[in-house]
């Protein structure tokens, strides 16, 4: 086996493993008992999609995909922070509620 064939094979294997980890993180997103579990799973999925962009850039040679990864890193952080603050405020509001 030449080294170029090995690279092709490892790109396919990387695609399979990264997509598998995306699916597993999605299972946690669907199951997750609390909101914080779902936010963690969503964060994990964002990081995994950044990895998918990297593998796709290697497989196709289109390097505009790395711009997608950069924007996804920025937006994913904002989503995580917004959801975490939402969870915290909702908690504070429920606590302050005299029932």
Partner 1 sequence: MINIIISVFLLLGSFFALIAAIGVLRLPDVLTRMHASTKAGILGSSLILIGGAIYLQETEITVRVIAIILFLMLTSPIGAHMIGRASVRDLQSKKDIIKDNSQ
Binding site for partner 1 (CB under 8 A): 3-4, 6-7, 9-11, 13-14, 17-18, 20-22, 24-25, 27-28, 34, 36-37, 39-41, 43-44, 47-48, 50-51, 54-55, 57-58, 61, 63, 66-67, 69-70, 73-74, 77, 80-81, 83-85, 87-88, 91-92, 94-95
- CB of residue 98 vs partner 1: minimum separation in angstroms? 13
Asked if 77 and 61 touch (Cβ cutoff 8 Å), the reply is no
Q: Is 13 exposed, middle or buried (0-12, 13-18, 19+ CB in 10 A)?
A: exposed
Strands (E), 1-99: none
């Amino acid at each position: 086996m030449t080294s170029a064939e090995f690279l092709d094979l490892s790109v396919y294997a990387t695609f399979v493993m990264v997509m598998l980890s995306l699916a597993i993180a999605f299972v946690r997103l669907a199951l997750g008992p609390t909101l914080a579990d779902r936010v963690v799973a969503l964060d994990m999925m964002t990081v995994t999609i950044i990895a998918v962009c990297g593998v796709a850039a290697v497989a196709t040679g289109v390097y505009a995909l790395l711009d997608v990864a950069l924007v996804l890193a920025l937006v994913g952080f904002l989503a995580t922070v917004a959801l975490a603050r939402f969870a915290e405020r909702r908690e504070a509001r429920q606590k302050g509620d005299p029932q």
